[in-house]
Amino acid sequence: MCKNNRQTLLNALGLSCYQLFSQKKEERIKERLFKLSIHLLALWLHCKRFLSKDKKTCHKIGLLTPEFFHSDCGGFGGYGANLRKITDYVNGNGGTISADILLTRAHGSIPHSIKKYHNAFVLFRPNHHKSYLINFLRYSRMARGRGLNLLISIDWYKDYEYSAYALPMTPLLIWIRDPRSLKEWQAIATVPQEMQASGHHTIQNIENIVNRKRDSINRIVKFSRQTGRKIVFATQAKYLIARAREAYGLDVGNPILLPKPLNMPNTEEITYSKKPSLGFLGRLEPIKRPWIFFELAKRFPHVDFLVAGKSHFPEIMDPIIKRYSHLPNLKFLGMLAEEQKDEFLRNIWGLLLPSIHEAMPNVFEEAFSYCKPVVSCQNPDNVVAEFGFYTGEILGQGLDNNSLDAFSKAVEELLTNHALRKEKGIRARKHVAAVNSFSYFENTISKFLADCN
């Protein structure tokens, strides 16, 4: 290589190194400036609270979530569906609590703004990389203007930090819903289609996810201790406490038991379709392994297998669904409206959920509220063994004979043992009526707010 070319390459390399160093230096300055800003904000709010004599009898909570059951608000997942029910209740019953939604992911080019969806005001965070600090302070002012007395985070994600820092003195309740440790992710990784759908192709990717979430939650806990913000944990199920300790890498103490509240349907009598039927209710995504449900339709041709839901990954799921399209007893109903879902749950004989991973799924509690038992390979807080038919743990794709035989045995018992099916269903409804009520949720939050004051 000639001397001139060599010198040109060295100059280019030197320039690249300088630009990289400058970029990192600039990022460090931005990070330090941001940290200084949130600490100053916390100090100002602390002084303001100390001087204030206002004692509120009505309380407003802010729910931190990535979604709120609308196409403008992150989609139609279980978190959003449940939060819609919560906000419909607390904002509509004239009680002492009301709720806003704080979307924790920026959506498109929407600036920081407040819009009403369903029965709640939704706060959008800005999606601006330029003027980051200015936009953050504007968002903080907007959020503070809502007069929130408590933040409730639905689980914990790194995206939540933005809103939590914007309200640095507002008490924070971290609601443990689905903490995923490396062990949980390793089980999920036994389903290749889910790894493809989620974009996590290697164990190293998974470790990075776990570590980022762990670092994030430890940062917010450390920051809250520095500023005097009260921070506690709640859990929707007792068995999730140990999983949260492992996933978060910290002591979560003795979390408040806070099951998801549920609208209880009127069920004067238990009804079943004339022809035996089993239901699948949820997203048609690889983590749910709906193909096990499809395979069971082949094994039980005298039973209607009803699929309620749609896929966010048609490129993965459509070819799988097509392989079973010839089965006359396998019926795809699409996404159901509330009235349709009510009819669906009233008529099926039971619900089947073959997911590789769950925490405490909404569909379990919904089925139980209609006195319908569940067949599943997941058994959170022993509810499936108690109020349904538990197959035992099943890893991988679940298409081997041993796995399908375990599901078939449970399905057979549900279909043929009429007395047991009814008895389990009745006890299931009594269970969710006791622990999944809106009044229990409201009383628990009110007590926590009183303790904060």
The pLDDT tens digits for 294-308 are: 999 999 999 999 999
pLDDT of residue 256: 96
- 118 φ, ψ (degrees, to nearest 5): 55, -120
Note down the domain range covering 85.
56-261+440-452
Count up the domains in the chain and report the number.
2
89/110 same-domain check: yes
157/284 same-domain check: no
Q: How far is CA 181 from CA 147, 184, 203, 209, in A?
A: 35, 5, 12, 10
Helices (H), 280-436: 290-299, 314-322, 338-347, 362-369, 383-387, 401-416, 418-435
The CATH number of whichever domain residue 196 belongs to comes to 3.40.50.2000
Distance CA 38, CA 329 (A): 59
100/235 same-domain check: yes
pLDDT of residue 212: 93
pLDDT of residue 275: 98
pLDDT of residue 25: 52
232/300 same-domain check: no
Distance CA 303, CA 305 (A): 6
Which of these ranges, 13-22, 108-117, 226-235, has the smallest mean pLDDT?
A: 13-22
Mode of pairing for the β-strands spanning 120-124 and 113-117: antiparallel
pLDDT of residue 227: 86
pLDDT of residue 109: 61
pLDDT of residue 55: 56
Q: Does residue 348 belong to any structural domain of this protein?
A: yes
pLDDT of residue 68: 92
pLDDT of residue 26: 57
Strand partners, 102: 64, 123
Determine which helix (DSSP H) or strand (DSSP E) holds 233, and give its type and residue range.
strand 231-235
302/169 same-domain check: no
pLDDT of residue 268: 84
112/249 same-domain check: yes
pLDDT of residue 315: 96
Label residue 47 by pLDDT band (50, 70, 90).
Answer: low
Label residue 18 by pLDDT band (50, 70, 90).
Answer: very low
CB proximity list for 118: less than 8 A, separation 6 or greater: 68, 69, 70, 84, 87, 88
Tell me the whole-structure pTM to 2 decimals.
0.85
CB 170 within 8 A of CB 230: no
pLDDT of residue 10: 38
pLDDT of residue 134: 86
Q: Is the pLDDT of residue 133 over 60?
A: yes
- Three-class DSSP category at 105: coil
Label residue 353 by pLDDT band (50, 70, 90).
Answer: very high
281/414 same-domain check: yes
Q: Which residue, 144, 162, 160, 142, is CA-closest to 152?
A: 160
Label residue 39 by pLDDT band (50, 70, 90).
Answer: low
338/444 same-domain check: no
pLDDT of residue 36: 67
3-state secondary structure 163-191: HHHHCCCCCEEEEECCCCCHHHHHHHCCC
DSSP 272-305: --SS-EEEEES---GGG-HHHHHHHHHH-TTSEE
Q: Is the pLDDT of residue 50 over 80?
A: no
Sheet arrangement for strand 113-117 = 113-117, 120-124, 97-103, 59-65, 150-154, 172-176, 231-235, 256-257
Q: Does residue 72 belong to any structural domain of this protein?
A: yes
pLDDT of residue 58: 74
pLDDT of residue 6: 41
103/205 same-domain check: yes
pLDDT of residue 1: 44
Q: Does residue 297 belong to any structural domain of this protein?
A: yes
131/203 same-domain check: yes
What mean pLDDT is predicted for residues 199-215? Answer: 87
Which of these ranges, 10-19, 67-76, 188-197, 429-438, has the smallest mean pLDDT?
A: 10-19
- Mean pLDDT (the chain) is 88
84/172 same-domain check: yes
What mean pLDDT is predicted for residues 196-224? Answer: 90
| Sign of the C-alpha dihedral computed for residues 64, 229, 439 and 157 taken in this order | positive
Q: Does residue 392 belong to any structural domain of this protein?
A: yes
339/364 same-domain check: yes
Sheet arrangement for strand 277-281 = 330-334, 304-308, 277-281, 350-353, 374-376, 389-390
Length of the chain: 453
